[in-house]
Amino acid sequence: MHVAADMAKVSSNPRFSERVSQLLSNMHLHEKIGQLCQVSGCEGHVSEHLAQQVRDGWVGSVINEVDGPTVNYLQHIAKQESRLGIPLLIGRDVIHGFKTIFPIPLGQAASWNAELVEQAARIAALEANSVGVNWTFAPMIDISRDPRWGRIAESLGEDPYLCSILGAAMVDGFQGTDMSESGQIAACAKHFAGYGATESGRDYGTTNIPENELRNIYLPPFKMASDSGAATFMSSFSDLNGVPASGNRWLMKKILREEWGFKGFVVSDWESIYQLEIHGLTENSRDSAQKAFNAGLDMEMVSTTYREHLEELLETKQVDIAQVDHSVGLILSVKEQLGLFDKDCQSPDTADAFYQQESLDVAKQIATQSCVLLKNHNQTLPINAQETQHIALIGPLADDGFEQLGTWIFDGEPQHSVTIRSALESACPSSVNITYDRAMATTRSYTTDLYAQALASANQADVIVMCVGEEAILSGEAHCRADIDLPGSQMELIEKMAELGKPIVLVVLAGRPLTLEPIIEKVDSVLYAWHPGTMAGPAIADLLLGEAVPSGKLPVTFPRKVGQIPLYYNQKNSGKPATNDQYIHMNDIPPRSPQTSLGMAAIHLDTHFSPLFEFGFGLSYSQFTYSQLTLSQHHINRSETLEVAVTVHNTGDWDADEVVQLYIRDLVASATRPVKELKQFSRVHVKRGEHKKVIFSLNINDLSFYNDEMQWAAESGHFHVWVGGSSATTLQQGFELIDG
Q: What's 720's domain CATH number?
A: 2.60.40.10
Counting Cα atoms < 13 Å in the Cβ hemisphere of 438 gives 12
* Range 550-581 burial, b when 16+ CB lie within 10 A, else e: bbbbbbbbbbbbbebbebbbbbeeeeeebeee
Query: What is the rounded CA–CA span in Å between residue 508 and residue 309?
Result: 50
Residue 459 has a pLDDT of: 98
- Give the pairing type, strands 390-394 and 463-469: parallel
The whole-angstrom separation of Cα 700 and Cα 704 is 6
| pLDDT score of 597 | 67
Q: How far apart are CA 169 and CA 684, in angstroms?
A: 19
Q: Measure the CA–CA gap between 343 and 345, rounded to whole angstroms.
A: 7
In sequence order, which residues have a C-beta less than 8 Å from that of residue 501 and are 6 or more positions away? none
User: Is pLDDT at 11 greater than 70 in this prediction?
Assistant: no
Residue 669: C-alpha distances to residues 572, 665, 721, 739 (Å): 12, 10, 16, 15
Report pLDDT for 346.
60
For residue 594, tell me if it sits in a domain: no
* Residue 72 within a domain: no
Provide mean pLDDT across the span 543-561. 98
Residue closest to 390 by CA, chosen among 424, 437, 431, 450: 431
Residue 284 has pLDDT above 60, yes or no: yes
678 in any annotated domain: yes
Q: How many domains does the chain have?
A: 1
Q: Which domain holds residue 690?
A: 624-737
- Position 202 in a domain: no
**Does residue 667 belong to any structural domain of this protein?**
yes
What would the mean pLDDT of 320-349 be, rounded to a whole number? 90
- Contact (Cβ atoms closer than 8 angstroms) between residue 390 and residue 135: no
The predicted pLDDT at position 606 comes to 93
The residue among 589, 650, 642, 578 whose CA lies nearest residue 611 is: 578
Residue 347 has pLDDT above 70, yes or no: no
Name the E strands within 415-569.
Answer: 433-437, 463-469, 504-509, 525-528
10-24, 39-53, 195-209 — most confident range: 195-209
Tell me if 47 is assigned to some domain: no
**Residues 390-431: pLDDT tens digits?**
999 999 999 999 999 999 999 999 999 999 999 999 999 999
Mark 518-528 as b/e (b = at least 16 C-beta within 10 Å): ebbeebbbbbb
The full DSSP string for 371-420 is: -EEEEEGGG-PSP-TTT--EEEEESTTTT-TTGGG-SS-TT--GGG---H
User: Would residue 87 count as lying in a domain?
Assistant: no
Domain-located, residue 406: no
| Average pLDDT score over the chain | 95
Backbone torsions φ then ψ of 390, nearest 5 degrees: -145, 120
Residues annotated as catalytic are: 269
pLDDT confidence of 674, banded at 50, 70, 90? very high
